Amino acid sequence: MNRRTLLRSLCTLGGAAAAGAALASKAAGTPSPDPAAALLAQAYPDLEGRSQALSQWKGRPMLVNFWATWCAPCVKEMPELDALSRRYPRVQFVGLAIDTSPNVVKFVAKVPVSYPLLTAGMASIGLMRSLGNGPGGLPFTVVLAADGSIRKQILGPVDPSELDSVLAQLSG
């Protein structure tokens, strides 16, 4: 093998390795340049199976709560979030369940929730990570301003009084 062929081979392998590293980084949950825009670009089924695009609420302040029926802190905070959603009707609340639709339907039969609940499933864990939830833990809440900018990220149960002040600013 002559020197020129060897150099070409090394350059080709180096380029392939760089491309592979870039793809692996993207797949591993590297934050997108605009994670809030990525969130608003999503659509998930509601409890009747109809696809609901989060972009339908674009232009409004929004609280998105990632939760699951099997997550005790998630279940505990649902009544508090529901009360806040009624207190701030100008803020769109959305629950994204990391769960199955049948489990969520059973849950809301016991714990009524007045805001939309959508079934995101395990596939949305990457989205949660891009929004600032590196560990992928639940519950995880993201508050967006009307312009789509992220105003608050909460990993773990919400503190209603802290959230109350953020929502008051956004809905004023």
CATH label of the domain that carries residue 123:
3.40.30.10
Total domain count for the chain?
1
Domain span including residue 98: 35-51+58-166
Is residue 172 a part of any domain in this protein?
no
Cβ(60)–Cβ(143) below 8 Å? no
Report pTM.
Answer: 0.81
Q: What is the pLDDT of residue 121?
A: 93
Task: Name which residue leads in pLDDT, 1 or 162.
Answer: 162
Is residue 26 a part of any domain in this protein?
no
Phi, psi of 145 (to 5 degrees): -75, 170
For residue range 15-24, list pLDDT tens digits in order. 333 333 333 3
For residue range 84-109, list pLDDT tens digits in order. 999 999 999 999 999 999 999 999 99
Sheet of strand 117-119, all strands in order from the earlier edge strand to the far edge: 117-119, 92-97, 62-67, 140-144, 150-155
SS percent in the chain: helix, strand, coil, step 5? 50, 20, 35
Is residue 6 a part of any domain in this protein?
no
Cβ(137)–Cβ(156) below 8 Å? yes
Is residue 8 a part of any domain in this protein?
no
Average pLDDT of the residues of the chain: 86
For residue range 129-146, list pLDDT tens digits in order. 999 999 999 999 999 999
